Structure 1
Amino acid sequence: MQYKLHRIYDDNGPQGYRVLIDKLWPRGISKQDAALDDWWKSFAPSDNLREWFGHDADKWDEFRKEYLHQLSEQKKEIKECLADVNQGTLVILYGAKDDKHTHARVFQEYLEKLNH
């Protein structure tokens, strides 16, 4: 399976099974326009972690480490959701403006390690 990241606000996203990985619904996006196959909000960072991080790049390394830990505690549930996805491409959608310091990138990293 391939994993592709795409900001939900940007046009021309990759084709595949589209999953929103944010806990909060992105402002200004209708459910029709989102064209999601699923919304995996339970795999988004905890509220405490998300609020502490606040998209502060200086906190990135610590945020990444803690979020990977949170994901590891949900390994069984993540594998169950992945089993529902046909082999092909999983499009991981997120709303953050900073595409280098987004939890979606950490989620993709976790999935890639999980399947190897």
Structure 2
Amino acid sequence: MELKLERIYTKPADMNGYRLLVDRLWPRGISKVNAALDDWDKDIAPSTELREWFNHIPERFPEFKARYLAELALNPATPKLINVIANQLKTQNVILLYGAKDTEHNQAIVIYYYLLKQPAIKAALN
């Protein structure tokens, strides 16, 4: 099984796995039916203050990443997310979905690499 990362606007969408939106805000122009989500974890997304400060300015990404990793470490939703993903990976791929236009500087990338370092995720992927 694989942990994947995909922009929700990508066509054709990868429907092969557990589809999880990791944005705090619903992506514009995407209907809930067409999104075909299994879950939407708003609580794992960066805080509103951090998201607004970052404002998708690439030069701020290193600082955003550091601040967001600190938020993830303290977020009570983080262990739940790790458990859900580890359990899903036992039987199917997991696709982390995000809406940002910038595919290199966004919170989903931070979450993706953070998850890959977690022992439960590593075990599920092997």
Same fold (TM > 0.5) = yes
Structure 1 unmatched runs, 5+: none
Could you tell me the percent identity over the aligned residues?
Answer: 46
Separation of aligned partners in 1, 2:32 and 2:70 = 30
Separation of aligned partners in 2, 1:86 and 1:57 = 31
Structure 2 unmatched runs, 5+: none
1:42 aligns to what SS in structure 2? helix
The equivalent residue for 1:13 is 13
Separation of aligned partners in 2, 1:7 and 1:50 = 17
Higher helix proportion (structure 1 or 2) = 2
2:117 aligns to what SS in structure 1? helix
CA offset digits 1:47-101 (Å, max 9, x no partner): 0000000000110100001111111223422233325524231101000000000
Separation of aligned partners in 2, 1:84 and 1:24 = 25
Q: For the Cα contact (< 8 Å) 2:2–2:89, is it kept in 1?
A: no
Structure 1 position 48 matched with structure 2 position 52: no
The equivalent residue for 1:81 is 84
Q: TM-score, normalised by structure 2?
A: 0.84
The equivalent residue for 2:105 is 101
Which portions of structure 1, spanning 4 or more consecutive aligned residues, are displaced by more than 3 angstroms? Answer: none
* Root-mean-square deviation (Å): 1.5
Question: What is the aligned length?
Answer: 116
Separation of aligned partners in 2, 1:7 and 1:34 = 11
